[in-house]
Structure 1
Amino acid sequence: MPVALIGLGHWGCRFVPKLLNHALVKGLYCYDIDDARSRRIIQDFPSVKVSSDYESVLNNPEIEAVIIATPVASHYSLAKKALESGKHVLLEKPLTNRVDEAQHLVDLASARALKLMVDHITLYSGAARSIKRLIESQTLGKVIYFDAVRANLGLIQSDVSVVWDLAIHEFALIDYLLGEMPNRVSATGAAFYGSLEEIADVTLSFEGGIVAHVHVSWLSPVKKRKLIIGGMKKMLVFDDMVSDKKLKLFDRGVDLSVNAGVDKPIVTYRDGDCQVLDHDRTEPMVAVISEFMKAISEGREPLTNGAVGLRCVRILQAAEKSVKQRGTSVNLG
């Protein structure tokens, strides 16, 4: 199936070789408003067909699917035009920067029987699928908290805050693992080099008492990608910055016991073994492309469909509102 890639910036360029080498992609068209980027792509990848403008992509009957890797402010208008032209759409995260626009895209894709997918790439790692299985099998017991950090030095964005740029990865992953929306969001942040937050802390509260804390930063001297999941039976650590042993399962935790004649429960601590877990090593971006193409050919919804993207935008918008209100809790129920 021929595919068109819109946007040849940092993320779009990473898509090009993966698309060209993918068995389900039978031709690649590219378009970027910057002609210099298009010329560089042709030099590096001569088989790519460069389109002169976006309208020519939309009017090309050979192109059935469009991948949009542009700044978020342009997502809605570009995706809307593509869906109205009968194209399936894969969007770089986030889906849009407004809930009402995200909802309209979801409704439009449904009305046209087209696939709308968001590139929540964290969900396409083998580690994410392994974590999902551990939670569903009750290996961790009842999950009580998530504690995540995603930090590095830059890249400071001019159009979105660090919450929209980085925290969305954790929001999407937690949504995937729990399958439910938080009912409250609170967030604080600070901006030192511009008008948008470069460092932030977000707390998601869920109906059953689960709490998720997410710390994100563009101002860290070291790169961190770590998620800790606390369960009543066991605990899990996912460290995406190590080359090996990314997933570790700990037989550690807190136990409470009540003895006759004792007013307060006795607290004991388990300090058991640590088990290193293996997982599928398929490159996430390749898995994203496969999911998009297979969802189209098989006539099914992709894992990270428009509804998932919409939920994430709702959380992002609530977090943004909370930051502006200096940490006031925002209800999502």
Structure 2
Amino acid sequence: MKSKPAVAVIGCGYWGRNHVRTLSELGALYAVCDEDKIRAADLAGQFGVASMDMEDVLSSSDIDAVVLALPPQFHAPMALKIIAAGKHLLIEKPIALTVEDASAVVEAAAKTDLTVMTGHVLRFHPAFEALERMVLEGKLGHIQYIHSHRVGLGRFHTENDALWDIAPHDLSLILALTGEEPADIRGEGAAVLDHLSDFAHLHLSFPGGIRSHVFASRLNPYRERRLTVIGDKAMAVFDDVAPWQEKLAVYDHQVWKGDNGLEFETAEPRFIDIADGLPLTRECAHFIACIAEGKPSRTPVDDGLAVIKILSTGTVSHD
């Protein structure tokens, strides 16, 4: 293995192009591949790398790893081919559209020594990493409730509704904070524009007692990207729309049982200093380090399967 692996990006759409740029900046980009040959050639020319066919990517001994950023209905079958070809793999979310397909990817990865990880990019956001440390260190006390709101206008897909397109971001964060999969899942969606849900609600209950809800919408007049964690010592908010220095706020609110019932005292937010760095850059650098050093990924495909299980169970009704 070279000191830095050579990575090919399969899928040069909106998010794939971000991977191409980031891997180029990290000095690991080797090739790009896309069904649209003109788009692939143009992108390859911009970054000074090869434009290759899928079969050539899989068979090339010069390519160590692949980033897979296709429409999600193609992720599982292509992931199995990449793993069979002996390439390390980062699969964008969702890693599949069924539990069966996601399980097949996890099982294939488990039979190898390859790094096979899910592209849950917000797990690498410095603000979330700081929040995760606070939870693990008990600074918020016993975690009681976690809720997320991720709303905005667009993007509209022909295959994915709001639940499958938007909710995986926050589900990956919630699963990381709870450290377990939910015991009970209830979901509801609302289709406004066509047959696909534009709004989605998920309610989760975890074995350890934490409860949670996720609200996702792609038909909303304003953008909100907020994850709130309620502990019995303090509350914290990761707000990805806020200015960098205000992305992670802690509220030392107090609630207690008094003589006349529950009483409370509010506090002004404390903004937590967070490290610099773009989440995608940190994620790609982690992928490269896992390959080079043989260490386990923070977001293995098992995490992607856990999210698919929730999405599959949570899709119960459309108004």
For the criterion TM > 0.5, the same-fold answer is: yes
How far is the alpha carbon of 1:266 from its aligned partner? Answer: 2.5
Match of 2:18 in 1: 14
User: Of the two, which has the highest radius of gyration?
Assistant: 1
- What letter matches 1:255 in structure 2? W
Partner Cα distance (1:275, 1:252) in 2: 11
**Runs of 4+ residues over 4 Å off in structure 1:** none
Identity %: 31
Choose which of 27, 30, 43 in structure 2 pairs with 1:28. 30
How far is the alpha carbon of 1:42 from its aligned partner? Answer: 3.3
Match of 1:252 in 2: 253
The alignment status of 1:305 with 2:300, answered yes or no, reads: yes
How far is the alpha carbon of 1:163 from its aligned partner? Answer: 0.8
Equivalent residues in 2 for 1:210-225, closer than 5 Å: 210-225=210-225
Alpha-carbon displacement from aligned partner over 1:151-174 (angstroms, at most 9, x marks no partner)? 110001111111111111110001
- What letter matches 1:189 in structure 2? G
TM-score, structure 1 as length reference = 0.91
Match of 1:262 in 2: none
How far is the alpha carbon of 1:49 from its aligned partner? Answer: 0.6
Helix, strand or coil at the partner of 2:317: helix
The alignment status of 1:49 with 2:43, answered yes or no, reads: no
How far is the alpha carbon of 1:286 from its aligned partner? Answer: 0.7
Match of 2:313 in 1: 318
Partner Cα distance (2:49, 2:232) in 1: 52
Partner Cα distance (1:106, 1:156) in 2: 29
Residues 32, 44 of structure 2: 8 Å contact kept: no
Helix, strand or coil at the partner of 1:323: coil
Count residues with an aligned counterpart: 314
Residues 125, 281 of structure 1: 8 Å contact kept: no
RMSD: 1.4
- What letter matches 1:323 in structure 2? S
Point out where structure 2 has 5 or more consecutive residues left out of the alignment.
none
Residues 186, 323 of structure 1: 8 Å contact kept: no
Match of 1:330 in 2: none
Partner Cα distance (1:153, 1:227) in 2: 19
Helix, strand or coil at the partner of 1:269: strand
TM-score, structure 2 as length reference = 0.95
Partner Cα distance (2:237, 2:145) in 1: 12
After TM superposition, the structure 1 stretch with the greater mean CA deviation from structure 2, 270-279 or 12-21, is 270-279
Residues 31, 51 of structure 2: 8 Å contact kept: yes
The alignment status of 1:127 with 2:122, answered yes or no, reads: no
Partner Cα distance (2:9, 2:227) in 1: 32
How far is the alpha carbon of 1:36 from its aligned partner? Answer: 2.4
Match of 1:331 in 2: none
Residues 9, 68 of structure 2: 8 Å contact kept: yes
Partner Cα distance (1:239, 1:54) in 2: 39
Match of 2:282 in 1: 287
